[in-house]
Amino acid sequence: MKLTGGCYCGALRYEAGGKPILKAQCHCRECQYHSGGGPNYFMVMPGDEFAYTSGTPKQFTRDDLEAPVTREFCSNCGTHILTRRLDMADMVLKVGTLDDPAVFRAPKMAIFTIDEQPFHLIDPDIPTFERRPQR
């Protein structure tokens, strides 16, 4: 599978290859900041099959967290493209940045529901986890 996408202004473009490892929605407080209040829909994709085809993202990592992640985004329009975790070679690709977000279809789980807001919607047929599920 080859997925393409980019940021809102077009300065960043990417290709992501391989099969999605996980399709989910995240309700953590950090994702609420990035999404404007809603859950964040994402796919975990093989990190070695992802490449920016144009532009260079800006990166941000909080230094006050025990297990920080690195977020990559467009320095021009601010679109959040992906998240990288230090403990994982794969990367967390934001579904809204895909050229065809419909390929996502639906999340297979909801995570960090401990931070879920009353206006968030979760399909009652998918598993939910208060935090990140154990592998």
pLDDT in tens, the chain (135 residues): 899 999 999 999 999 999 999 999 999 998 999 899 999 999 999 999 999 999 999 999 989 988 888 999 999 999 999 999 888 899 999 999 999 999 999 999 999 999 999 999 999 999 999 998 876
Domain range for 98: 2-115
Q: Tell me if 112 sits within 8 A of 129, measured CB to CB.
A: yes
Q: Tell me if 133 sits within 8 A of 115, measured CB to CB.
A: no
d(CA 5, CA 108): 22
At residue 50, the pLDDT reads 96
Q: What is the CATH number of the domain that holds 14?
A: 2.170.150.70
In the chain, how many domains are there? 1
User: 128 - beta bridge partners?
Assistant: 110
d(CA 16, CA 67): 25
- Residue 121 falls within a domain, yes or no? no
**Phi, psi (degrees; rounded to nearest 5) at 48:** -80, -5
